[in-house]
């Protein structure tokens, strides 16, 4: 099942979740109605009948529909409250659990190792580098991924995991969490949290009514009525939560199996993931979290975050032994006891696991990627050990000064701006004048120090440098973002032409940073149809064709090849267009960001077809495809689409 099918599957599971939730609500409403009728019967024994009680029998439509409306309002109130709490996306969940954001410039060795693993995984996979939150007060080993989309995703990790896992084990855990990002699980998990909180609201209301009735001493009858209703609401809410937890567990368990399998596929090192699971099994507290907020978010975690009498029923994860057994068939089921005090020694010790000789390719041998028949969209949302190896090699080969600068809030902005500086001295002088007049002084000082190094660095570093710099750039003060955004546009517009890399850098930067600075990119609207997207595809494929061609005839051939892949229409009847400017291209991007996974797949394959019209894929065109997919939220791995002849290394 490919990335686009996984996205559709996640949406279908969301629809199923809503159906199950509605059925649970109906059962709750019926139970509350019966409780109200019981209270009404009890009330009729205490006081004379009133107009409200003139009708006898179990079925009273007026009371039933009033009860249904009241239950719906209570549950909706709980859902809305939780949605407001989580409107900040992944960071909201991490902070709710007591997380502390790890700053990119941290030098603490274990924290730096964790960030390096996350950065390598993100660059290898094409996913925006997520922020990492450390749960300082959690000694158990656990982790989670949270967010509505990959753009607001965070990786949360406990201090026990940071201190107790080796690099291979950490890589296995992070790969597991990245698979949740790929598979669309995060949005599903957020909906689970909000819906369960809505059901819990009835239970909470019952508790409040019980407390209030105990304090009502002067009005004994009212206190009795409140106790009956309160106890009914409390118990019915508890039953609702019970079934809600079962739904939560059923939805989550299968996703965890898939995430484990994906993590092994990504790393080709099952021993790393198995080692992390064994350490969890060997800890007295396992993956248990102390935070009270962890209960509602238990399905987010890498391993079970709590314990209860009904753990087997409510378990959101498969049993640890079963998970390890799937990774290591000869596992005997015994978890060696681990003392948390020895974490640092355990993490740094050589692994006494099965040798990785068969799992990891020999670095002395050149890795050759052959051309495959599948379209590039089949690579979206996937990751291999070759991609991870390439990302690791790329990160190690980056000039240390630039890597350090990319982790600095001001230096990261300088890198992004330096990537836009032209090769021609005349254009560059105009751009430097713009920067001197508009940039933050600290940013400009950094830029003058690195602009020559950035321009003369190998071109293969451009997109990875941008991806590495964006998380740190998101830490700039809010009042500086509008000026930074305008400066990017001014640098691109100053030579009166749009280059392919400029277009990609602009879209990737704004796509990543705009949501973090609350820049509205359009509200939720229905998905556009093919007819609505046709003109946008026409424009974007034309821009790609022009950017990668030396003349109009070559551009026309590239466009027709791409259009044939995208549309069933005869490509010869469609004219090649040249985009009028950045605003027109931005409008076309916006249309496809709202498109269905299938339409995104078609556009991505069409973009590849246009780029490959001459049966080759240059570095510039590979950059374009990676940037294209990033803006469409269809992450491409680092080596996707690259063709290397035998004897060449990627």
Catalytic residue positions? 177
Both tokens assigned to 289: 């979290």
User: Crossing angle, helix 409-418 and helix 462-473, to 10 degrees?
Assistant: 140
Both tokens assigned to 343: 């974490």
Do residues 196 and 81 touch, judged by C-beta distance below 8 A?
no
Do residues 359 and 268 touch, judged by C-beta distance below 8 A?
yes
Give the strand pairing for 131-135 and 100-101: antiparallel
Instruction: Mention every residue, 6+ apart, whose C-beta is less than 8 A from residue 613.
Output: 557, 558, 561, 562
In which element (H, E) is residue 491 found? helix 478-493
Do residues 376 and 636 touch, judged by C-beta distance below 8 A?
yes
Spatial distance between the Cα atoms of 127 and 176, rounded to a whole number of angstroms: 14
Instruction: Mention every residue, 6+ apart, whose C-beta is less than 8 A from residue 137.
Output: 98, 159, 290, 291
Do residues 202 and 71 touch, judged by C-beta distance below 8 A?
yes
Spatial distance between the Cα atoms of 510 and 170, rounded to a whole number of angstroms: 31
**What are the backbone dihedrals phi and psi of residue 567, each rounded to the nearest 5 degrees, phi first?**
-130, 155
Closest to 127 in 3D by CA, of 646, 632, 645, 649: 632
Environment class of 10 (CB within 10 Å of its CB; exposed 0-12, middle 13-18, buried 19+): middle
Both tokens assigned to 506: 């602009």
Strand order in 131-135's β-sheet?
100-101, 131-135, 154-158, 143-146
What is the dihedral angle through the alpha carbons of 609, 613, 615, 620, rounded to the nearest 10 degrees? Answer: -80
Both tokens assigned to 622: 């590979």
Spatial distance between the Cα atoms of 228 and 232, rounded to a whole number of angstroms: 6
Do residues 10 and 633 touch, judged by C-beta distance below 8 A?
no
What is the dihedral angle through the alpha carbons of 89, 90, 94, 95, rounded to the nearest 10 degrees? Answer: -30
Both tokens assigned to 353: 């696991």
Environment class of 492 (CB within 10 Å of its CB; exposed 0-12, middle 13-18, buried 19+): buried
In which element (H, E) is residue 157 found? strand 154-158
Task: Give 158's strand partners.
Answer: 135
Residue with tokens 């159906």: 19
Environment class of 211 (CB within 10 Å of its CB; exposed 0-12, middle 13-18, buried 19+): exposed
Angle at 581 between CA 577 and CA 586, to 5 degrees: 95
Do residues 126 and 182 touch, judged by C-beta distance below 8 A?
no
Give the strand pairing for 131-135 and 154-158: parallel
Instruction: Mention every residue, 6+ apart, whose C-beta is less than 8 A from residue 255.
Output: 180, 183, 185, 188
């Amino acid at each position: 099942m490919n990335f686009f099918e996984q996205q559709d599957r996640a949406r279908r599971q969301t629809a199923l979740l809503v159906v199950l939730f509605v059925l649970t609500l109906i059962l709750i409403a019926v139970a509350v109605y019966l409780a109200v009728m019981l209270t009404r019967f009890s009330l009729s024994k205490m006081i004379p009948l009133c107009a409200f009680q003139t009708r006898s029998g179990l079925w009273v439509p007026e009371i039933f529909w009033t009860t249904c409306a009241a239950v719906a309002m209570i549950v909706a109130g709980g859902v809305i409250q939780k949605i407001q709490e989580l409107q900040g996306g992944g960071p909201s969940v991490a902070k709710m659990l007591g997380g502390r954001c790890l700053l990119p410039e941290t030098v603490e060795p274990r924290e730096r190792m964790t960030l390096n693993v996350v950065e390598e995984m993100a660059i290898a996979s094409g996913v925006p580098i997520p922020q990492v939150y450390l749960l300082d007060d959690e000694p158990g080993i656990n982790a989670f991924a949270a967010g509505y989309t990959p753009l607001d995703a965070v990786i949360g990790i406990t201090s026990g995991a940071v201190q107790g896992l080796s690099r291979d084990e950490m890589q296995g855990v992070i790969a597991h969490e990245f698979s949740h990002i790929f598979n669309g699980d995060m949005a599903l998990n957020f909906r689970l949290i909000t819906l369960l909180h809505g059901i819990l609201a009835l239970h909470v209301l019952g508790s409040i009514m019980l407390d209030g009735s105990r304090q009502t001493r002067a009005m004994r009858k009212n206190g009795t009525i409140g106790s009956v209703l309160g106890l009914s609401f409390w118990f019915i809410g508890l039953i609702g939560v019970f079934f809600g937890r079962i739904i939560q567990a059923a939805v989550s368990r299968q996703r965890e199996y898939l995430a484990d399998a994906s993590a092994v596929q990504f790393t080709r090192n099952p021993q790393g993931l198995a080692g992390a699971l064994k350490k969890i099994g060997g800890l007295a507290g396992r993956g248990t979290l102390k935070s009270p907020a962890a209960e509602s978010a238990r399905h987010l975690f890498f391993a079970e975050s709590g314990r209860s009498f009904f753990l087997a029923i409510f378990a959101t994860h498969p049993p640890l032994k079963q998970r390890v057994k799937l990774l290591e068939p000869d596992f005997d089921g015994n978890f060696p006891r681990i003392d948390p005090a020895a974490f640092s020694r355990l993490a740094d010790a050589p692994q006494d696991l099965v040798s990785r000789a068969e799992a990891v390719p020999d670095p002395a041998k050149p890795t050759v990627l052959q051309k495959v028949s599948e379209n590039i969209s089949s690579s979206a949302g996937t990751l291999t050990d070759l991609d991870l190896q390439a990302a690791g090699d790329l990160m190690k080969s980056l000039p240390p000064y630039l890597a350090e600068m990319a982790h600095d809030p001001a230096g990261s902005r300088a890198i992004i701006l330096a990537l836009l500086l032209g090769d021609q001295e005349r254009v560059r002088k105009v751009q430097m004048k713009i920067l001197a007049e508009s940039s933050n002084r600290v940013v400009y000082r950094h830029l003058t120090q690195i602009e020559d190094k950035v321009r003369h660095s190998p071109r293969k570093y451009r997109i990875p440098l941008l991806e590495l710099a964006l998380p740190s750039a998101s830490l700039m003060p809010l009042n500086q973002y509008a000026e930074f955004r305008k400066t990017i546009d001014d640098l691109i517009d100053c030579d009166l032409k749009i280059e392919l890399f400029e277009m990609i850098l602009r879209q990737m930067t704004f796509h990543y940073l705009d949501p973090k600075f609350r820049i509205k990119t359009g509200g939720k609207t229905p998905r556009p149809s093919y007819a609505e997207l046709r003109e946008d595809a026409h424009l974007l494929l034309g821009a790609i064709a022009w950017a990668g061609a030396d003349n109009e005839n070559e551009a026309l051939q590239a466009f027709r090849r791409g259009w044939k892949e995208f549309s069933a229409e005869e490509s010869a009847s469609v004219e090649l267009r040249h985009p009028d400017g950045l605003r027109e291209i931005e409008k076309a991007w916006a249309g496809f960001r709202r498109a269905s996974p299938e339409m995104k797949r078609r556009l991505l394959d069409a973009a590849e077809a246009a780029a490959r019209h001459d049966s080759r894929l240059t570095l510039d065109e590979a950059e374009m495809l990676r940037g294209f997919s990033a803006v469409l939220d269809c992450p491409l791995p680092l080596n996707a689409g690259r063709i290397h002849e035998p004897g060449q290394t990627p």
